[in-house]
Structure 1
Amino acid sequence: MTPGNNGASTPEEEDPFGYLYADGQANGAQPPSGGGYGYPNSVSRVRAVGERQYGQQAPPAAYGQAGVPQQGAYGQPNSHYAAPESYPGGPPTAPQQPTRRAGNGRGPNTKGLLIGAIAVVAAVVIGIAVAMTGGGDDNKADGQASTPPSSTKSASPTEQSSASAAPGELPKIDAKALRLEGGATTASDIKGAKAEGGVYVAGFNQVGAKVTWTVNGIEEAGTYRLYVRYGIPGVDANATLVVNGKANSQTLNMKNFGGLPAGDWEKGWQTTWANVNLTKGTNTVVIACNEGNQCNANLDQMYLTTDEG
């Protein structure tokens, strides 16, 4: 044995591709031709497919006898083998499709269900909290005034208006508490009204329009002075005054006492008065625009004093 040569090669050490390398060619390796490795005198281990036997197999039992048919030699079919579908009661011939779970083969989305449940509980808790904190809004005192309208608004003809004075005082009323009929409405566009929110009665300049004040709490029958605050565009106006269903002999005078220029509604707020006879208890006072009246006026407030003023 010399350096570079390890002696005669054994079949296990032979390289089947030795002819591809320079050292293999130097040792006489050649491309295979009909079996064996690339080295001279190499041992051929090629066998035909199915030739090798893996030992004797026990003869298969006849169909219907005890025992399981045995497989034949490697690579050869077993004549006693039959497909499962050929036996009575065997599996169906059509291939069974595997059952797939919803969600692309994944199991139930438990994480999504948990998040949804938490969201529902949170919504219920928030709703209960809002109901508990906001429930007191419905318990306001009946006498508390509401927010005045910023645009024209009609009052219901069936609305009953009343005013009761504190002990020792006579009743008074703002425009928005009056009962309106015949096209009379409330508005707040013109500045200068003293009623709460600057609300006054508009639309009074047409025949049939009227306002009604139901006066409660008159302690003694007698003559009282009714004051009416009104606004005109610098032009005289008047209306019919009716007390407890009876019209006064004189109209309610709403003249341009200040001599203000025509067309200026904002500067036209003034006050007039008339004597009225009231009974003890409840009375009705009506200011109406009838035929023959000049009713181009807005009405602001009404209040009572004794006849001495």
Structure 2
Amino acid sequence: MTPGNNGASTPEDDDPFGYLYADGQANGAQPPSGGYGYPNSVNRVRAVGTRQYGQQPQNAQTAPYGQVPQQQGTYNQPNAHYAAPETLPGGAQTAQHASPAGGGGRGGRGPNTKGLLIGAIAVVAAVVIGIGVAMLGGDKDKDDASDKTGTTPTQSEESNPSPSASKAGGASEDELPKIDAKALRLGGGATLAQDVKGAQSGGGIYVTGFNQVGSSVTWTVNGIPKSGKYTVYVGYSVPGKDQNGTLTVNSTPLKTPVDLKNWTGAGEGDYEKGWTKTYNYVQLNKGTNTIELSCQQGNQCDALIDQLWLAKGWVESKS
């Protein structure tokens, strides 16, 4: 074979079905005869698109080759050449069921949308109510927890009050403030010193020069929890002999002097071994009070002062 057309010399020989297409017909393609050589075959060759369904009358005329026969009838009307399968002999019979008017449903009505809507609303309402109950229960638990926290003191609150309260001059029910000599307000000839050992105040600092009439130390106490009875303590040292002073509370002098006795039995002039304490009963007001220890006419004031502190109630001794 040579390049080019390696098959038959004519289009109809090259494509046995060329007669079915317009270009084949233009080139002279002819349909085969004799039913393609199959026994008992029927030659019913038609152009593409001219197939008619259903049975044809024996005397039906065929359209010229290559033309589509005219269809009988018009749009939406039965075609004489078409028959539905159920009309043929032995065809299945189909039953027509008329739909009730109104689109289905019971009694010819539509779907029960009203019932569905009511059910949906009920579900939403139940969810909202459940959420509301849960929120109210949570708030109640928080309130109960806050009430319990506010009314029940912890162990640290009962036994370990804040140190800052004492330093700031505040007071509480169980622990009342205490003050060192260096924080007192000094008056008259009173000054600070730290030569004598044994003072309990910070840095061993104490007040000296108290043995002059008009000398004083003043303590402004803040935060007294309530009005009532309190005990004022004074830390001091004497040179082996008894001394005394005047205590004034809120500008009112007490009739009973402050006894600065030689409770330790120190030898005369031995201030280092004479450090001890004494106390007086007083009435204080709630809030702020002023306590003053001074040397007045008639007092024997040769003493060193290192601390003052308070106790609740009238007690005999408190370290």
Q: Which has the higher helix share?
A: 2
TM (norm. structure 2) is 0.45
TM (norm. structure 1) is 0.47
